[in-house]
Amino acid sequence: MKNYKIAAIPADGIGPEVIAAGLQALEAVARRDGGFNVDVTSFDWGSDYYKKHGMMMPENGTDQLKDFDAIFFGAVGAPDVPDHITLWGLRLPICQGFDQYANVRPTKILPGIQSPLAGVGPGDLDWVIVRENSEGEYSGHGGRAHRGLPEEVGTEVAIFTRVGVTRIMRYAFKLAQSRPRKLLTVVTKSNAQRHGMVMWDEIAAEVSKEFPDVTWDKMLVDAMTVRMTLKPQSLDTIVATNLHADILSDLAGALAGSLGVAPTGNIDPERRYPSMFEPIHGSAFDITGKGIANPVATFWTASQMLDHLGENKAAIRLMRAVEKVTEEGIVTPDIGGKATTKEVTEAVCEAIRGENI
């Protein structure tokens, strides 16, 4: 029997609540299929660890993770630790250390879930956003001079490389090609940003020649928010920079009903290192400990993880179970329901064990 070694990093806020739920669903689907086993090791890294040790994870943290088959991540963020410390201390070192350069964010309206867009239902919005995850606006370059003085200057430098842009573009075209509509939208801001962004447009045109069966177009990121809102049916696969896709995918999550249902895979397509799967949302300390965190994003990302591991049948089964439960209206308050995290999780595990899933 196949045995997958999974590193769980629940981290902060509602992270531990949704990761516990996700692990329960993974267990249930592994038991139902019988063909594989998930062997989970949990790491207590995050803001509490930081308060004790002065760092979010041990110095050899990524070394400890490198032999796992995948990483299952909750969220970081605490009211009393600055966000740049939690993010740069844990999540980004893993993404960048393992060169997880493709951040893949599927969005669709699940059955029973209401989009805030009038007249838009399941089938009208079925996207995958591919976010460049290794460079761009989040490459960490920049600086501050004359701190606190009137002449203070701060810079954030966005770095785009031919290698980095070509590989994400190729990934996005390939993904678009694998989907029924074979449609890709390349997002930039190449009217105002005339260097790296123009390079994105040029590389998109070059890579498109390798994929003659994919229909593609270009959008400026500001106009893209309008198209996502007013013509969701016109989009399918989307590729954008680290910052642009970060923003667009929060919008996508909201248009699909809630941030609480939106999943992410941080993928190393070359499979040199473990990939990392997490809900898009943060630590949500406004609802931490209340037992009402929506576990659907975490179930969905667990399904992405199974798919990445090659357990496609189990991945589909898990999503079918989630869809059955949302359709029945067993959902948390963020999407208009009354159910608790525990009730949704039990319903999903029950559905996994059922006959028709």
Residues of this chain that bind ligand NAD (CB under 6 A): 14, 18, 75-77, 83, 91, 259-260, 278, 281-284, 286-287, 293-294, 297, 332, 334
What residues contact 295, with CB distance under 8 A and at least 6 apart? 17, 18, 21, 22, 25, 332, 341, 344, 345, 348
CB of 310 vs ligand NAD, minimal distance in Å: 26
CB of 26 vs ligand NAD, minimal distance in Å: 17
Task: Give the residue carrying structure tokens 């319903």.
Answer: 347
Of 227, 42, 7, 261, whose CA–CA distance to 117 is shortest? 227
Indicate which of ligand NAD, Mn ion, none lies near residue 246 (CB less than 5 to 8 Å, by partner kind).
Mn ion
Indicate which of Mn ion, ligand NAD, none lies near residue 242 (CB less than 5 to 8 Å, by partner kind).
none
Q: What's the half-sphere exposure (Cβ side, CA atoms, 13 Å) at 201? A: 14
Phi-psi sector, 339: left (phi>0), alpha (psi -120 to 50), beta = beta
Q: Rank residues 82 and 154 by Cβ distance to ligand NAD and give the closer one.
A: 82
Q: Rank residues 270 and 286 by Cβ distance to ligand NAD and give the closer one.
A: 286
Indicate which of ligand NAD, Mn ion, none lies near residue 91 (CB less than 5 to 8 Å, by partner kind).
ligand NAD
246 interacts with Mn ion by CB under 5 A:
yes
Q: Give the integer Cα–Cα distance in Å for 339 and 189.
A: 42
**Phi, psi (5° rounding) for residue 340?**
-90, 170
Indicate which of Mn ion, ligand NAD, none lies near residue 57 (CB less than 5 to 8 Å, by partner kind).
none
DSSP class of 110? P
- By beta carbon distance, the residue nearest Mn ion is 246
Q: Give the integer Cα–Cα distance in Å for 66 and 212.
A: 37
Q: Rank residues 95 and 349 by Cβ distance to Mn ion and give the closer one.
A: 95
Q: What's the half-sphere exposure (Cβ side, CA atoms, 13 Å) at 136? A: 24
For 103, the token pair is 């951040």
CB of 321 vs ligand NAD, minimal distance in Å: 18
The answer to whether the CB of 175 falls within 8 A of the CB of 130 is: yes
Q: Rank residues 49 and 200 by Cβ distance to ligand NAD and give the closer one.
A: 49
Q: Rank residues 246 and 323 by Cβ distance to Mn ion and give the closer one.
A: 246
CB of 84 vs Mn ion, minimal distance in Å: 14
Q: Rank residues 24 and 86 by Cβ distance to Mn ion and give the closer one.
A: 86
CA distance readout (Å), 293 to 46, 108, 171 = 19, 20, 32
Indicate which of ligand NAD, Mn ion, none lies near residue 294 (CB less than 5 to 8 Å, by partner kind).
ligand NAD
Q: Give the integer Cα–Cα distance in Å for 80 and 86.
A: 10
Indicate which of Mn ion, ligand NAD, none lies near residue 259 (CB less than 5 to 8 Å, by partner kind).
ligand NAD
Interface ranges with Mn ion (CB under 5 A): 246
